[in-house]
Amino acid sequence: MLIHIPALLTRQEITYCRTVLEKSQWVDGRVTAGDQSARAKFNLQIPHDSREGMELADLILQALGRNPTFNSAALPLRVFPPLFNRYDEGMRFHTHVDNAIRPLPGTGFRIRTDVSSTLFLSDLDEYDGGELLIQDTYGMQEIRVPAGDMVLYPATSLHSVREVTRGSRWASFFWSQSMIRNDVQRTLLYQFDQSIIETRRNLPDDHPAVLGLTATYHNLLRQWSEL
């Protein structure tokens, strides 16, 4: 399931993120890559334990908490603290798949990466190229969206970032461990939730149809969830 979430961040939040990132230290992006990805990855990143990185990660986590689409689509149990990358002219990320398991920094816990997320922080006129390419059921999808928009997709997907040919493309990226491991089940629950929302626009909350749909949704969530 590929989901586009417009305007996760406000324009003010985008400006603040960019201001902080401009003053930050950038390092070789391969420091967070696995063996296979390290051979394919050519970009820059903010160290995950830097003061700037942790501050902006908290800002994004707060935005995720208030976004109903993210919570409906990802059904997150745990979220990896957002990281930040930068692709300058000539940089790219060849086709790869994300690591299945990642240690949570500063804890003794690990996270299973069910859902990958990319939050764009550069306006479209700031760079050429740099499309996020995701292989899904319907073929290769090219993602190029405005600053503040985010896309979610299964972490099992092969994906890449096309070479930047002008300017610089900045983004945040992270993973979620979902309460629903199976992507098909997660997609069905998201579609079910969207149908409930649409039904509630036309019927009162205590209507039998609304109550029945809501009960079925939660019973399926109870049946399929892993906590």
**Order of strands across the sheet that contains 132-136:** 41-42, 92-96, 159-161, 132-136, 139-143
In this structure, the chain runs to a length of 227
Cα angle value 17/33/142 (rounded, 5°): 65
Residue 31 tokens read as: 């420091």
Token pair of 79, please? 């979220």
Q: Is 94 annotated as a binding residue?
A: no
Place of tokens 């649409």: 198
User: Residue 4 is encoded by which pair of tokens?
Assistant: 């586009």
How many helices (H) and strands (E) are present in the chain, helices listed first? 6, 16
Stretch (H or E) spanning 168: strand 164-178
169 is in an annotated binding site: yes
Is the distance from CB of 157 to CB of 16 less than 8 angstroms?
no
Q: Given the DSSP bridges, would you call strands 92-96 and 159-161 parallel, antiparallel or unpaired? A: antiparallel
CA angle 105, 25, 92 (to 5 degrees): 85
Q: Consult the annotation and say whether 207 binds a ligand.
A: no
Known binding residue 78? Answer is: no
Q: What residues are designated binding site?
A: 96, 98, 159, 169
Q: What residues are designated binding site for Fe cation?
A: 96, 98, 159
Q: What residues are designated binding site for 2-oxoglutarate?
A: 169
